[in-house]
Amino acid sequence: MASHILRRLLATVPVVVIVAVLVFLLLRLTPGDPAAVIAGDHASAADIERIRASLGLDRPLLEQFFIWAGTLLQGDLGRSIISNMPISSLIAQRIEPTLSLAASTMLVSLLVSLPLGIAAAWGSRTWVDRFTMVLAILGFSLPVFLVAYTLIYFFSMKLGWFPVQGYRPLAQGVLPWLQGLALPTLSLSFTYIALLARTTRASMLDVLSEDYIRTAQAKGVRTRALLIRHAFSNAAVPVVTIAGIGITLLISGVVITETVFNIPGLGRLTVDAILSRDYPIIQALILLFSGVYVVINLLIDLLYLVLDPRIEY
Amino acid sequence: MSATTNLAAIAPMRRTWMPRFLRGRPALVGGAALLIVLVAIAIASPWLTGNPQAISPLNRLRPPSADLWFGADQLGRDIYARTLQGARVSLLVGVCVALLSAAIGLLVGVLCGFYRRLDAVVMRLMDALMAIPSILLAIALTTLVRGGVLLVIVAITVPEIPRVVRLVRSVVLTLRGQPYVIAAIAAGTRQPLIMLRHIVPNAVSPLIVQATYVCASAILTEAGLSFIGAGVPPEVPSWGNIIASARSYFQIAPWAIFFPGVGLALTVLAVNLLGDGLRDSLDPRASRRL
């Protein structure tokens, strides 16, 4: 068990290293002159040279890599080209809204999708099932900004229940914080609910056709216990796996949702960096988000041991 | 109850041929029909509408009316013209990304399924690509390179490849153990021939289904990229950048966002319906799983 955890930890190392190398090479090997592109259309030759030097692009490739990897290993993500602020402090300033949004989305998605998926599998071919499948296909088809603007139109502009835009920090009180988060969370949850409800339904359908479920039913186990303890605890592994892989979906959604709702989080930082062509920030955010993905999927892998005692390594 | 659930869950495995292929499959027929209409509109749009970039200050923020069907934005540009012509970029990107990632995914996936050493290296690379959120990888590419629609297509294709490679590879690995493939190996058939004649034809059905889903997700990613300013340049109207340019005026002119948004949703819905329909017809095992 301990050796498995260690081995699993070591297995993440090549992934992280390859991501870092990819991100590094992206800037160096792209066709054209990235320094000129980053500098923009009205830059002078001196500006382009300054950016080239600040990105270290004027040195040999291998030397660049070791300098970059060295500073990265010390936890230094570099500095913004535009404001010259350390990127780690820019990220620290913006992390609260993004974390709040991601956590509330995760919570809402799980609370809605798990019961929905279980009910759909239990009432297969009934209206619950049809509703869930329609919701699932809509969730995959409706773009996050259409959902977001529709919600703003009805709940903020017509009914006035929620602010149109903006984010209130948790320090200003729980209620305003929740009010600001409600619509972004709903918009962002939609796809995730679709994904998780569909996976839960499929996984539950597989389990419900097992013999031991019929045995449990024949013994007179109550429906609730049957569905949750007997069936769902065995159907949870694929759901958790998909939830982990879906993290990238969530991260992409965060970038767009924060833009629609004008939330000063990491997604907004990304978009500002695109508009000012501040490549070091984009690079740091890719590394950060990929790191989050790797860590979450590592935790999920370890969670399998808890969810399914039959899995032995 | 459990018995009926069981029966309902397992779709009858029947052979499908053309008439049956469409019969009793509302998702497939509906999705295909909707998509054909949308493609026709996209192709015909330059003749159906005026210039989507024409600025007419008199029409600024005009709501939808008899002569301006979808209203106008803050520059007085006709949203009807912009929405219809925006379909061209979305469909182009969706189809190109689906074809490109299917072709690359098929090639790499088959090779990985056959050569273990290559597999070990390529799959680590794929793991790493999967870890990078697709929209961020595309953002990085479009920030670094100046380019138009072609660059956006490449930037969206790269993060889609790992999913296709994994799918093809898993099909190949299953097929390799099949008696007829073992027989072909034993008979001394050359490896390229085994791949082409015995493996690829069997990988085509799941690949088509996957390519449809890739198409849907590429259309959404393109819109997302253009919405945050990292996609198609503003001179080319795309649903994402139409919505982006109308963003600040949302409270005064919601129609400038609503119509392109609905166009986008309808297109992705059509492609997804087509994908579900194809999955049910071509790949009954997968339809049971999901």
- Which uninterrupted H or E stretch holds B215? helix B200-227
Q: How far is CA A309 from CA A100, A210, A303, A312, in A?
A: 32, 18, 10, 7
Which residue does chain B place closest to A281, by CA atoms? B140
**Cβ pair A289:B136 closer than 8 A:** yes
SS3 B34: helix
CA-based nearest distance A170→chain B, Å: 27
**Cβ pair A18:B127 closer than 8 A:** yes
**Cβ pair A137:B276 closer than 8 A:** yes
User: Does the structure show a pLDDT above 60 at B12?
Assistant: no
CA-based nearest distance A2→chain B, Å: 24
B258 CB neighbours in chain A (<8 A) are 149
CA-based nearest distance B19→chain A, Å: 25
User: Does the structure show a pLDDT above 90 at B133?
Assistant: no
Q: And the tokens for A27?
A: 């800037």
SS3 B174: helix
> Which of A255, A283, A297 to mutate: most B Cβ within 10 Å?
A255
User: Which residue from B194, B88, B82, B100 is spatially nearest to B155, judged by alpha carbons?
Assistant: B100
Q: And the tokens for B40?
A: 């026709």
Specify the long-range contacts of residues B231-237, CB closer than 8 Å, at least 24 apart: B231/B142, B231/B152, B232/B89, B232/B148, B232/B149, B232/B152, B233/B148, B235/B53, B236/B89, B236/B148, B236/B149, B237/B52, B237/B53, B237/B82, B237/B85, B237/B86, B237/B89
Whether the CB-CB separation of A121 and A204 falls below 8 Å is answered with yes
Residue B8: the pLDDT is 45
Sign for the pseudo-dihedral over CA of A99, A100, A104, A107: positive
| pLDDT by residue, tens only, chain A of 313 residues | 678 788 888 888 888 888 888 888 887 777 677 777 777 777 788 888 888 877 777 778 788 888 888 888 887 888 888 788 899 999 999 999 999 999 999 999 999 999 999 999 988 888 989 999 899 999 989 999 899 999 999 998 888 888 888 888 888 888 888 888 989 999 999 999 999 999 999 999 888 888 988 898 899 888 888 888 888 888 888 898 888 888 888 888 999 999 999 999 999 999 888 888 888 888 899 889 988 888 988 888 888 877 777 766 5
Which residue does chain A place closest to B268, by CA atoms? A141
Of the partner residues B133, B261, B276, the one whose CB lies closest to the CB of residue A252: B133
Give CA–CA dist B48/B237, Å, rounded: 15
SS3 B127: helix
Residue A55: the pLDDT is 76
Residue B25: the pLDDT is 77
B130 CB neighbours in chain A (<8 A) are 245, 248
Q: How far is CA B249 from CA A109, A219, B67, B107, in A?
A: 31, 63, 21, 47
Residue B177: the pLDDT is 85
CA-based nearest distance A174→chain B, Å: 27
**ipTM confidence:** 0.85
Per the structure, the complete domain to which residue B152 belongs is given by 38-46+69-282
Q: pTM for the full model?
A: 0.87
Average pLDDT on B35-55 reads 86
> Which of B6, B122, B134, B135 to mutate: most A Cβ within 10 Å?
B135
Asked if the structure places residue B59 within a domain, the reply is: no
Asked if the structure places residue B232 within a domain, the reply is: yes
Q: How many CB atoms lie within 10 A of CB A32?
A: 11
> Which of A118, A150, A212, A256 to mutate: most B Cβ within 10 Å?
A256
Give CA–CA dist A191/A253, Å, rounded: 9
**Cβ pair A121:B5 closer than 8 A:** yes
Q: How far is CA B17 from CA B21, B24, B201, B281, B287, in A?
A: 5, 13, 17, 9, 18
B70: confidence class by pLDDT, cuts 50, 70, 90: confident
Average pLDDT on B254-267 reads 91
Asked if the structure places residue B33 within a domain, the reply is: no
**Cβ pair B124:A15 closer than 8 A:** yes
SS3 B11: coil
Asked if the structure places residue B8 within a domain, the reply is: no
Q: What are phi and psi of A86, to 5 degrees?
A: -65, 135
CA-based nearest distance B2→chain A, Å: 6
Strongest mean pLDDT among A26-30, A101-105, B129-133, B178-182: A101-105
> What is the Rg, in whole angstroms, of the alpha carbon atoms belonging to chain A?
23
Asked if the structure places residue B289 within a domain, the reply is: no
Whether the CB-CB separation of B82 and B260 falls below 8 Å is answered with yes
> What is the Rg, in whole angstroms, of the alpha carbon atoms belonging to chain B?
22
DSSP, res B63: P
Whether the CB-CB separation of B112 and B123 falls below 8 Å is answered with yes
3-state secondary structure chain A: CHHHHHHHHHHHHHHHHHHHHHHHHHHHHCCCCHHHHHHCCCCCHHHHHHHHHHCCCCCCHHHHHHHHHHHHHCCCCCECCCCCCEHHHHHHHHHHHHHHHHHHHHHHHHHHHHHHHHHHHHCCCCHHHHHHHHHHHHHHHCCHHHHHHHHHHHHHHHCCCCCCCCCCCHHHCHHHHHHHHHHHHHHHHHHHHHHHHHHHHHHHHHHHCCHHHHHHHHCCCCHHHHHHHHHHHHHHHHHHHHHHHCHHHHHHHHHHHHHHHCCCCHHHHHHHHHHCCCHHHHHHHHHHHHHHHHHHHHHHHHHHHHHCCCCCC
Q: What are phi and psi of B14, to 5 degrees?
A: -125, 155
Give CA–CA dist B220/B135, Å, rounded: 10
* Residues linked to residue A86 through DSSP beta bridges, in sequence order: A79
Of the partner residues B1, B131, B261, the one whose CB lies closest to the CB of residue A15: B131
Q: How many CB atoms lie within 10 A of CB A148?
A: 25
B23: confidence class by pLDDT, cuts 50, 70, 90: low
CA-based nearest distance A175→chain B, Å: 25
User: Does the structure show a pLDDT above 50 at B49?
Assistant: yes
Average pLDDT of chain B is 84
**Cβ pair A289:B132 closer than 8 A:** yes
**Cβ pair A146:B216 closer than 8 A:** no
**Cβ pair B144:A38 closer than 8 A:** yes
**Cβ pair A27:B229 closer than 8 A:** no
Asked if the structure places residue B1 within a domain, the reply is: no
> Could you tell me where the DSSP H helices lie in B115-196?
116-131, 134-144, 149-176, 179-186, 191-194
Asked if the structure places residue B124 within a domain, the reply is: yes
Give CA–CA dist B276/B280, Å, rounded: 6
Whether the CB-CB separation of B84 and B49 falls below 8 Å is answered with yes
B140 CB neighbours in chain A (<8 A) are 23, 26, 279, 282-283, 286
Of the partner residues A143, A248, A273, the one whose CB lies closest to the CB of residue B134: A248
Which residue does chain B place closest to A294, by CA atoms? B131
Residue B10: the pLDDT is 47
Of the partner residues A141, A252, A275, the one whose CB lies closest to the CB of residue B268: A141
Average pLDDT on B145-172 reads 89
Total structural domains in chain B? 1
Q: What are phi and psi of B95, to 5 degrees?
A: -65, -45
Q: Can you tell me which residue has the tokens 């509330």?
A: A104
User: Does the structure show a pLDDT above 60 at B19?
Assistant: no
User: Which residue from A172, A164, A142 is spatially nearest to A262, judged by alpha carbons?
Assistant: A164
**Cβ pair B136:A14 closer than 8 A:** no
**Cβ pair A293:B224 closer than 8 A:** no
Asked if the structure places residue B25 within a domain, the reply is: no
User: Does the structure show a pLDDT above 60 at B287?
Assistant: no
Q: What is the CATH number of the domain that holds B185?
A: 1.10.3720.10
User: Does the structure show a pLDDT above 60 at B279?
Assistant: yes
Residue A115: the pLDDT is 93
**Cβ pair B265:A141 closer than 8 A:** yes
Give CA–CA dist B113/B138, Å, rounded: 28
B228 CB neighbours in chain A (<8 A) are 255-256, 259, 270-271, 274
| Half-sphere exposure at residue A179, Cβ-oriented, CA atoms within 13 angstroms | 15
Q: Any residues with CB less than 8 A from the CB of A59 and at least 6 apart, and which?
A: A67
Average pLDDT on B131-152 reads 84
Of the partner residues A142, A248, A282, the one whose CB lies closest to the CB of residue B265: A142
Whether the CB-CB separation of A232 and A216 falls below 8 Å is answered with no
A208 CB neighbours in chain B (<8 A) are 2, 5-6, 9
SS3 B213: helix
User: Does the structure show a pLDDT above 70 at B4?
Assistant: no
CA-based nearest distance B185→chain A, Å: 34
A138 CB neighbours in chain B (<8 A) are 269
B39: confidence class by pLDDT, cuts 50, 70, 90: very high
User: Which residue from B165, B159, B198 is spatially nearest to B179, judged by alpha carbons?
Assistant: B198
Whether the CB-CB separation of B232 and B241 falls below 8 Å is answered with yes
Residue B289: the pLDDT is 46
Residue B22: the pLDDT is 67
Average pLDDT on B102-110 reads 95
Give CA–CA dist B138/B134, Å, rounded: 6
